[in-house]
Chains A and B, each alone.
Chain A
Amino acid sequence: MGAAAEAFRNEVRDWLARHWTPERRAAHLKKPFKEHGWDPDFSRLMGRDGWIGVGWPRKFGGQGRGPTEQIAFVTEMANVGAPVQAHSTGESIVAQALFLHGSPEQQAEWLPAIKRGERTFALGYSEPEAGSDLAALRTRAVRDGDHFVVNGQKLWSTGGDKAEYIWLAVRTDPEAKKHAGISVLMVDLRSPGVTLRPSLALYGKTFSAQFYDNVRVPAANLVGAPNNGWKVITDALAAERVMIGGTRMAGIERAFDRLTDYLKTAVVGGKALRNDPVIRDRIGALAADIEVARQFQMRNCRLIEQGRVPLHEAAMGKVFSSELQERLGQAALDILGTGGLLSEDAGGAPVGEMEQVLRHSIMGMIGGGTNEIQRNVIAQRGLDLPR
């Protein structure tokens, strides 16, 4: 990392030291685990000081930072456990789509609000019969004067019980081929006719199912041209995969550091764990994998800096890092034994959060396109194998 990037990193650290204080962090961690990471007050504080939209173009009020600095930013945030989830979907996926497909009015209204940390979003993509095959979605939106009327059901929306708005993929032309009849609406989840059913995911946080019953959505909240939603969705996702990977990598590195810090001094049953050849071999293997995951991430950054959108390269990074997270969680349990099963707030846990790493890894392999779908992308786009 160059001197400019290092200076930027220090600026971020400095701000965090002043605003993500030990007191604030302790208060945050006192809340139930499922609320960790989601703090609209802190999002607004970040927004006030210009820390939302670090990677946005300057013409939209962002800092115009490149991918390497953006990764440094999310890494610094993750390293201290600063809660960014309330604004992150709006800041990343929604904003990216609005840059490319939003009307001038939408850009003028929604982007500044997101940047201030005042509009929180969840994604409304999956449905009971549309998961990996997202284009099979059936939630209907029918134009009625200045509104769309929405009917249908969405599933597995991370943060969908807490967000104010949902980035909703809907079918606007049921006659068109499946990719061609989709549109994207920004829907206020507090609208009449929306019913939320929150549920708890394996990793300890919530997502929601939503039922839409004649929900009226202003037509002004349609993003992009009608029936052009597939393009809006894929453009937004392609640009964001790398940053999502950056957050995951920061989590993996932090967990690995905690594990190795523990192993340096731990003595169990009279034996120093650090001298155990099996443990050393496992740690060496994980360290090599982490370096390779970093290399995939840096390659994605280089491609973006060259003006390319990494596609199969991003898929490789996603597959590798999410499966590495799984290996790390499994290795931690093997190394720590029963103690590895304990939560960080349990007394006597050798290294807390390790079982959490494992539970979280499952989401990494499923969310944002399952690893099996990613492998299809690698084979068909990276290797040009026939479909």
Chain B
Amino acid sequence: MPQHGGVSDSERDLLRQSVRDFLARAWPSETAVERAGDAAAVTTLWRGMAGQGLTSLGADPAEAGLREIVLVFEELGRAACPAPLLGAVAANLALSQQGSNAARALLAGLHKGDAAVALALGGFDGDAAAGRVDIRRQVARGTVSFVEGMQGATHVLVFTDAPVGVTVVAVDAPGLTVRATPGLAVPPFCNVAFEGAPVDWLELAASTLSDIALAARLACAGRALGAAQRAFDLAAENAKVRKQFGQFIGQFQAVQHKLADCLIRLDGARLAIDSAAAARDAGNPDWTVFASAAIAFASPALREASIQTHRALGAIGYAEEHEAPRHFRRVHADLARFGGVSRARAELADHLLGPVP
């Protein structure tokens, strides 16, 4: 786990503002949903993000640690932006210390915005149905589900567990079949089958891959937080202007208490996620415990905040043309993944009570 160079609070504020401003231009709220399914639009967005240096996140811990990665994911969530950043971060974390020409070429393409990487955690995903890919004689076989970022991707980064390592496969490689699996997640996850695809495979320690997978989980919790916070902000503003029974609905104690509870959940999740990311950046080996705690709290808390936000909004927030539905989808899609709350609680129980024999 790398030691972090140390980014100051004011630098983080600047980063947040610049990402927010960029996304307001490059991925405006009005067209965010319809463009999510438009591969060309995502590709253009991705090149713009490369221009902002965002596709290098994770490559150099002195430039940006997990706190900054999570911060950018929060902004992606807030903007309902489907940029394939999760794969880029995982590739940067996994490959930036690797000397192979293939790894260097991929990262160079990624940092310029020419390459975009989808992420398949396979056996490291944490969801029992995520599948796995095995490598034998430089050929990949297996099927992985819940792959994020296939739309517009040039490559897919796959974590393998037999043997343990990673492989990067071009999406047009022979023996690779991609099938979108629509659902609550927008854009949809994909199912990717490897039927004898020839690959370059790189051995990495299981602990390294687990660490990266946990960083990815925390980043997704951050993205859910950004989405939940944005929908909540809209609901809180609506409560100040919407009148019923002759008064602002925000004057009703039933609404005030609902929104107060949401704020507790949002702030609690933010503090816990940020503290876990900061622990990793500080080289604290217990960061995994803090990350499990953050995810175990955030998963039910942000989903509940999302539900209660809709209650406070009423029917206006139920229309797909309102921003709230996209955030509802994002919150749930990001928090039900990777084994969700049950796995995070189980990790904490392992830590406190010892693993189950």
Q: Which chain B positions have C-beta within 8 A of A313? A: 267
Number of interface residues, chain A, beta carbon within 8 A: 36
- Is the Cβ of B260 less than 8 Å from the Cβ of A382? yes
Q: What 6 A-B pairs have minimum CB-CB distances, sorted nearest first?
A: A284-B345, A379-B256, A288-B296, A280-B349, A295-B271, A378-B260
Given the interface contacts A280-B346, A375-B256, A379-B257, does A385 sit within 8 Å of B251 by beta carbon?
A: yes
A260 to B352, CA, bound (A): 7
Q: Which chain A positions have C-beta within 8 A of B264? A: 316, 319-320, 378
A320 to B297, CA, bound (A): 12
Given the interface contacts A264-B354, A281-B342, A287-B348, does A292 sit within 8 Å of B239 by beta carbon?
A: no
- Is the Cβ of B349 less than 8 Å from the Cβ of A281? yes
| In the complex, chain B residues 256-275 whose Cβ is within 8 Å of any chain A Cβ | 256-257, 259-261, 263-264, 267-269, 271-272, 275
Q: Which chain B positions have C-beta within 8 A of A234? A: none
| In the complex, chain A residues 308-355 whose Cβ is within 8 Å of any chain B Cβ | 313, 316, 319-320
Say whether B353 faces chain A, with CB atoms less than 8 Å apart. yes
Q: Which chain A positions have C-beta within 8 A of B263? A: 316, 378, 382-383
- Is the Cβ of A292 less than 8 Å from the Cβ of B272? yes
Say whether B347 faces chain A, with CB atoms less than 8 Å apart. yes
Q: Which chain A positions have C-beta within 8 A of B292? A: 284, 288
Q: How close is B290's CB to chain A, nearest CB, in angstroms?
A: 7
Partner of B251, one of A285, A292, A378, A387: A387
User: Who on chain A is nearest to B299 by CB?
Assistant: A288
Say whether A384 faces chain B, with CB atoms less than 8 Å apart. yes
A181 to B297, CA, bound (A): 45
- Is the Cβ of B357 less than 8 Å from the Cβ of A288? no
- Is the Cβ of B250 less than 8 Å from the Cβ of A386? yes
- Is the Cβ of A289 less than 8 Å from the Cβ of B297? yes
Say whether A191 faces chain B, with CB atoms less than 8 Å apart. no
- Is the Cβ of A284 less than 8 Å from the Cβ of B250? no
A233 to B88, CA, bound (A): 55
- Is the Cβ of A287 less than 8 Å from the Cβ of B293? yes
Say whether A274 faces chain B, with CB atoms less than 8 Å apart. yes
User: Who on chain A is nearest to B297 by CB?
Assistant: A288
Q: Which chain B positions have C-beta within 8 A of A292? A: 268-269, 271-272, 293, 297
- B contact residues vs A (CB 8 Å cutoff): 236, 239-240, 248, 250-251, 253, 255-257, 259-261, 263-264, 267-269, 271-272, 275, 290, 292-294, 296-297, 342, 344-349, 351-354, 356-357
A281 to B354, CA, bound (A): 13
User: Who on chain A is nearest to B250 by CB?
Assistant: A385
Q: How close is B200's CB to chain A, nearest CB, in angstroms?
A: 39
Q: Which chain A positions have C-beta within 8 A of B236? A: 383, 385
User: Who on chain B is nearest to A256 by CB?
Assistant: B352
Q: How close is A55's CB to chain B, nearest CB, in angstroms?
A: 23
Given the interface contacts A284-B345, A284-B348, A287-B293, does A385 sit within 8 Å of B239 by beta carbon?
A: yes
Q: Which chain B positions have C-beta within 8 A of A94? A: none
A299 to B290, CA, bound (A): 16
Partner of A385, one of B240, B261, B346, B349: B240
Q: Which chain B positions have C-beta within 8 A of A274? A: 353-354, 356
A263 to B356, CA, bound (A): 13
- Is the Cβ of A379 less than 8 Å from the Cβ of B259? yes
- Is the Cβ of B293 less than 8 Å from the Cβ of A375? no
- Is the Cβ of A375 less than 8 Å from the Cβ of B257? yes
User: Who on chain B is nearest to A380 by CB?
Assistant: B256
Q: Which chain A positions have C-beta within 8 A of B268? A: 292, 295-296, 316, 320
Given the interface contacts A283-B349, A287-B296, does A275 sit within 8 Å of B260 by beta carbon?
A: no
Q: How close is A371's CB to chain B, nearest CB, in angstroms?
A: 9
- Is the Cβ of A284 less than 8 Å from the Cβ of B290? no
Say whether A132 faces chain B, with CB atoms less than 8 Å apart. no
- A contact residues vs B (CB 8 Å cutoff): 260, 263-264, 274-275, 280-281, 283-285, 287-289, 291-292, 295-296, 298-299, 313, 316, 319-320, 372, 374-376, 378-380, 382-387
Q: How close is A318's CB to chain B, nearest CB, in angstroms?
A: 10
A387 to B240, CA, bound (A): 10
Show 26 A/B contacts (Cβ-Cβ < 8 Å), sorted by A.
Answer: A263-B353, A264-B354, A275-B357, A280-B353, A281-B342, A281-B346, A281-B349, A283-B345, A283-B352, A283-B353, A284-B292, A285-B345, A288-B293, A288-B294, A291-B290, A299-B267, A299-B271, A313-B267, A319-B264, A375-B261, A376-B257, A382-B263, A383-B263, A385-B236, A385-B239, A385-B259
A296 to B268, CA, bound (A): 7
- Is the Cβ of A280 less than 8 Å from the Cβ of B345? yes
A58 to B347, CA, bound (A): 45
- Is the Cβ of A291 less than 8 Å from the Cβ of B293? yes
User: Who on chain B is nearest to A289 by CB?
Assistant: B297
Given the interface contacts A375-B257, A378-B263, A383-B263, does A291 sit within 8 Å of B297 by beta carbon?
A: yes
- Most chain B CB atoms below 10 A, which of A264, A296, A380, A383: A383
Q: Which chain B positions have C-beta within 8 A of A289? A: 297
A383 to B294, CA, bound (A): 24
User: Who on chain A is nearest to B351 by CB?
Assistant: A287
- Beyond contacts A283-B352, A288-B293, A385-B250: 11 other A-B pairs, Cβ-Cβ < 8 A, are A280-B349, A283-B353, A284-B344, A284-B347, A284-B349, A292-B297, A299-B267, A299-B271, A319-B260, A379-B250, A380-B256
Q: How close is A203's CB to chain B, nearest CB, in angstroms?
A: 24
A48 to B248, CA, bound (A): 57
A292 to B268, CA, bound (A): 6
User: Who on chain B is nearest to A292 by CB?
Assistant: B268
User: Who on chain A is nearest to B347 by CB?
Assistant: A284
Q: Which chain B positions have C-beta within 8 A of A264? A: 353-354
Q: Which chain A positions have C-beta within 8 A of B275? A: 295
- Is the Cβ of A285 less than 8 Å from the Cβ of B260? no
Q: Which chain A positions have C-beta within 8 A of B240? A: 384-386
A336 to B275, CA, bound (A): 32
Partner of B296, one of A284, A374, A379: A284
A372 to B253, CA, bound (A): 9
Q: Which chain B positions have C-beta within 8 A of A288? A: 272, 292-294, 296-297, 344-345, 348
User: Who on chain B is nearest to A377 by CB?
Assistant: B260
Q: Which chain A positions have C-beta within 8 A of B345? A: 280-281, 283-285, 287-288
